[in-house]
Amino acid sequence: SLPIGPRGTYLSPVLDAGGSARWGAFELGLADDSAGSVVVDARSGDSAAPDAEWSPWTAVGGEPSCPSARYLQYRLTFVRGDDGNSPLVESTRLSYILANNAPTVSLETPTVAQAFRTKFDLKWKVSDPESDQVLTSISLKREGETEWRVLEPEIALGTDTYSLDPVAHKVEDGAYRLRLIVDDIAFNPTQPLQGQVISEPFWIDTTAPRAALPETLTEGDGLAFTLPVTDNHRVASVEWRLNDGPWRAAAAADGLFDSRLEQAAVNYRPIPAGEQTLHLRIKDVAGNETVLSQQVAGTP
């Protein structure tokens, strides 16, 4: 109550919501015998002490019109009634809700330029400022195309892995990107936010390399031939051996196996006289493998 004068003011301590908040209803509890009236104003800001960056004082009509911020301060102006008695405030109550922050997601696999021929695990990591669990959707898009194909519209809360099977999901060979969208709607139905990540291009390659042995494989007492090799993505290695002997590396004609079209050169002498079985093993970077075998004859 007011000891003197027709008006008086009470300034509240600065209230700290602990983070950026949207301010809700302000309730004023008046005593039963309270007289006169109380005018309520409020202001908000993001510094612990009010300064020029805070919002101006605005009248509170049941709900503060202050901008969302971490801190709020209210002001009560007491006005005596016509009978000279003062208003008496017994309590105040202010509702607020912390602002939601969008979750973020990062991919651990696949990494750039990885190639897969069989089922592999997609792994990701989610960070949410409020520690909310999120729902995750996964989509796939082939390089050069515009439409995303949804693989899973909603993965269970708390899940951070997903197995992608090129055969089961009917994914053709080629370069692709994955998109993950994480959504915290399960914990924030009124103001849900999303985060997303799009992978670097990676390869699906379920097809083995292709090669056709040339008609002539020997020259004199040794092997001497060049083998054209084709793959849907990239040739990794070409090896050869005679009978059950050790595998030996063939040489790339250009010095390096690093493309889908390669020439593998084999020059080796001497080979044992008589009938021999030449085996060739061709691998691509996804791990697909082709083995060719052909009889050759070594000269005495």
- Supply the pLDDT for residue 234: 96
In the predicted structure, residue 300 carries a pLDDT above the cut 80 = no
Query: Which ranges in the chain are annotated with CATH 2.60.40.10?
Result: 104-204
Query: Which ranges in the chain are annotated with CATH 2.60.40.650?
Result: 210-298
In the predicted structure, residue 1 carries a pLDDT above the cut 50 = no
- Supply the pLDDT for residue 46: 96
- Which among 134, 138, 145, 113 has a CA at the least distance from the CA of 123? 138
Mean pLDDT of the region 227-240: 97
CATH number of 210-298: 2.60.40.650
Contact 247, 268 (CB under 8 A): no
Mean pLDDT of the region 123-134: 86
Mean pLDDT of the region 115-130: 91
CATH 2.60.40.10 is the classification of domain 104-204: yes
Mean pLDDT of the region 266-293: 95
Distance of CA 286 to the CA centre of its chain: 24
Tens-place pLDDT, residues 191-226 = 889 999 999 999 999 999 999 999 999 988 899 999
Contact 251, 202 (CB under 8 A): no
- Which among 162, 173, 76, 90 has a CA at the least distance from the CA of 126? 162
- Supply the pLDDT for residue 213: 92
Tens-place pLDDT, residues 238-252 = 999 999 999 999 999
In the predicted structure, residue 3 carries a pLDDT above the cut 70 = no
- Which among 212, 197, 204, 207 has a CA at the least distance from the CA of 160? 197
Tens-place pLDDT, residues 49-99 = 999 999 999 998 767 788 999 999 999 999 988 777 888 889 999 999 888
Tens-place pLDDT, residues 140-188 = 999 999 999 999 999 877 889 999 999 999 999 999 999 999 998 888 8
Tell me the pLDDT band of 2, cut-offs 50, 70 and 90.
very low
Of 12 and 99, the one with more pLDDT? 12
- Supply the pLDDT for residue 5: 57
